[in-house]
Amino acid sequence: MKVQVKYFANIKDLMGKDTEDIKDMNSITVGELWLNLTKDMDIQIKVLYAVNQVYVSKDYKLNDGDEIAFFPPVTGG
Amino acid sequence: MKNEKKNNISLSDEDLLRYNKHILLDEIGIDGIELLNTKHIAIIGLGGIGCPLAQYLSTSGIGTITLIDSDIIEETNLQRQVLYTGLDIGKYKVDIASTKIKKMNPKLNVFTSKLRFCKDTSKIIRNVDMVIDATDNFSTRTAINAATIKYKKPLIMGAAIEMQGQISVFRNDHKDMPCYNCLYSDIEDQATSCMNQGVLSSLTGAVGSILATEAIKVLLSMSETLESKLLLIDFKNMIFRNIKIVKDKKCCVCNEL
Ligand SMILES: [Zn+2]
């Protein structure tokens, strides 16, 4: 299956790109996808997930054609 | 024309002039001005977001505003906390903010609290119509969320760090709606606190301005608010994105009875 990934705000800076297509992947959760994408990086940041513009938890099982957005929490002010 | 209108309404000639540009908006009008004048909003946090928020709510004719913040003004606040000047350093934010916004709109009623908002002090919101969270940390935001669920108040939340912001409207006055902790359940403050991170001053201004907009829209029952949505703002790339928030059945804050 294939999904489209979008990186938002400082996640975009970390990944060095704002979007990418992931092809030939197994059916995994959105949290597992994040771990796969960042496995060679030293990333301490907390990330949040939206699939098809809906907020989901890390256990959300991805489907073919999903659009995934990774974004950071913001609590300052 | 103006005299004809005046017979049916309670607004003074002065108010008709003061609110003229809002009266001309179909979405607000004279009825909207009169309704906003009966409303009481609590603003928690008078920092970079809370300052412009308090200014716009004051000049828009909200009847009563309660300002809640335990902090004292420091030099490092002046870059973005636009109600304060160098002369105010060392004074309580709520004291200076209340004087300033009262000057902007003399008919405004203002109450202040210098107590840190937490579970024990939360009853201060029991008589307000709406609560706006403009604080700077996860634990206070969680306490505000729990209190607005307890007292059934709509909650508008705004946050900013570096060049990114987030805004949402939680209808904690309604049943079975997603709450702040459905979104954020286990954030650790040290990862996201603004103590050692920068923040763009104009971003906090924009977040405060959007919070004031959403507050007025919710109070006037306008459609298309950020209810159960999270607005993600990325000022670095100037991108705005909306995400739908659904109730987390496992959320221990809004599912608890
Ligand atoms: Zn919840």
pLDDT of res. B2: 44
Q: How confident is the model at residue B84 (pLDDT cuts 50, 70, 90)?
A: very high
In a domain, A31, yes or no: yes
**Residue A21 within any structural domain of the chain:** yes
The tally of domains found in chain B comes to 1
How many Cβ contacts (< 8 angstroms) between chains A and B? 91
Residue B69 lies in a domain: yes
Considering only CB atoms, B136 lies closest to which of A53, A54, A77, namely A77
Domain residues for A18?
Answer: 2-71
Asked if the structure places residue B256 within a domain, the reply is: no
Query: Is there a domain that residue A77 lies in?
Result: no
Q: Residue B251: its pLDDT value, please?
A: 93
By C-alpha distance, the chain A residue nearest B208 is A77
Q: How many separate domains does chain A show?
A: 1
Give the pLDDT confidence of B182-233 residue by residue, as tens digits. Answer: 999 877 654 544 467 899 999 999 999 999 999 999 999 998 999 999 999 9
Any domain includes B133 = yes
B251 found inside a domain = no
Question: Does A46 fall in a domain?
Answer: yes
CATH of the domain at B32: 3.40.50.720
The answer to whether the beta carbons of residues B46 and B27 sit under 8 Å apart is no
Cα gap B231→B14, rounded to integer Å: 37
Structural domain for B203, as ranges: 2-244
**CATH number, domain containing residue A29:** 3.10.20.30
Structure tokens, B220:
């006037």
Bridge partner list, B231: B167, B242
Per-residue pLDDT tens digits for B90-147: 999 999 999 999 999 999 999 999 999 999 999 999 999 999 999 999 999 999 999 9
Q: Which residues of B touch A5 (CB under 8 A)?
A: none
ipTM of the shown complex = 0.94
The full 3-state SS of B63-108, as one line of letters, equals: CEEEEECCCECCHHHCCCCCCCCHHHCCCEHHHHHHHHHHHHCCCC
What's the rounded mean pLDDT across residues B76-84?
A: 98
Which of these ranges, A68-72, B7-11, B86-90, B212-216, has the smallest mean pLDDT? B7-11
Would the CB atoms of A53 and B47 count as touching at under 8 Å? no
| In a domain? residue B45 | yes
* Domain-embedded: residue A59: yes
pLDDT at B8 (0 to 100): 59
Strand, coil or helix: B217:
helix
Residue B257: pLDDT above 90?
Answer: no
How far apart CA B18 and CA B102 sit, in angstroms, is 15
**B100 within some domain:** yes
* Residue B143 Cα to ligand 1 middle (Å): 12
Residue A35 confidence class, pLDDT cut points 50, 70, 90:
very high
